[in-house]
Amino acid sequence: FPFQKLLSRCLYFQIYDYDRFTRDDVIGEVILPLASIDISGTVILWKKISSAKSSEGKLGSIKISLCYNPKTGIILINVVECKHLKSKDITGSSDPYVKIWLLQENKRICKYKTPIQMRNLNPIYNCKFEIKLTYEQIRKTSIEIIVMDYDRLGRNEKIGQINIGPRSGTLEMQHWNEMISNGRVEITKWHILKKYP
């Protein structure tokens, strides 16, 4: 396994509460990017356990397509559609739009936004955004995708979000890694929206 490729990978740990009679419950998770540690010898680390609980299915889901061109360094992000979004308005609907933040070393660098779809819990967007990154930057970059409910009179509310990148949850990280290893191929996946603070 090439050393350079190893540095783009992460170790993913999940901590469970064992139950003899029912399904084991996830207590939390730890994601460890191999690029952040010296893997030439023994390493002892203390890591904070992050909550792995999500409001599975309650907030809705989002379909995202990613395509990476290694020649140009451009990542194409396509916000395809959302399904079964949680209603935020008293009418039983929502006015959703999607915000995309590019994060480098947990700092928000730039923002993109889709148009608002009024009174729609199953909006179709097909909005494409291009991000240009060097190979070095890709290892430190993740994408924060937030579904918002527009409010004309009050404050816009967050419906749910996902983070896609080398330090995200299992399915999101898998999407990111598939994009990197399949240059110039669109990788499309559904993601369940989660509730983040």
Res. 52: pLDDT tops 70: no
Please give the pLDDT value at position 14.
77
Res. 183: pLDDT tops 90: yes
Res. 154: pLDDT tops 80: yes
Categorize the per-residue pLDDT at 197 as very low, low, confident or very high, splitting at 50, 70 and 90.
low
Please give the pLDDT value at position 61.
92
Say how far apart CA 155 and CA 176 lie, in whole Å: 32
Query: First-to-last CA distance in the chain?
Result: 38
* Domain spanning 61-192: CATH superfamily: C2 domain (2.60.40.150)
Please give the pLDDT value at position 2.
66
Categorize the per-residue pLDDT at 136 as very low, low, confident or very high, splitting at 50, 70 and 90.
confident
Same fold, 1-53 and 61-192: yes
Percent of the chain with pLDDT over 90: 56
Give the class (CATH, top level) of 1-53: mainly beta
Average pLDDT of the segment spanning 22-28: 67
Res. 175: pLDDT tops 50: yes
Nearest of 11, 32, 14 to residue 24 by alpha carbon: 14
Say how far apart CA 49 and CA 189 lie, in whole Å: 27
Say how far apart CA 190 and CA 145 lie, in whole Å: 13
Categorize the per-residue pLDDT at 55 as very low, low, confident or very high, splitting at 50, 70 and 90.
very low
Domain boundaries along the sequence of the chain: 1-53, 61-192
Res. 158: pLDDT tops 90: yes
Please give the pLDDT value at position 126.
98
State which H helix or E strand residue 178 sits in.
helix 170-181
Tokens representing 184? 């110039």
Q: What are phi and psi of 124, to 5 degrees?
A: -110, 125
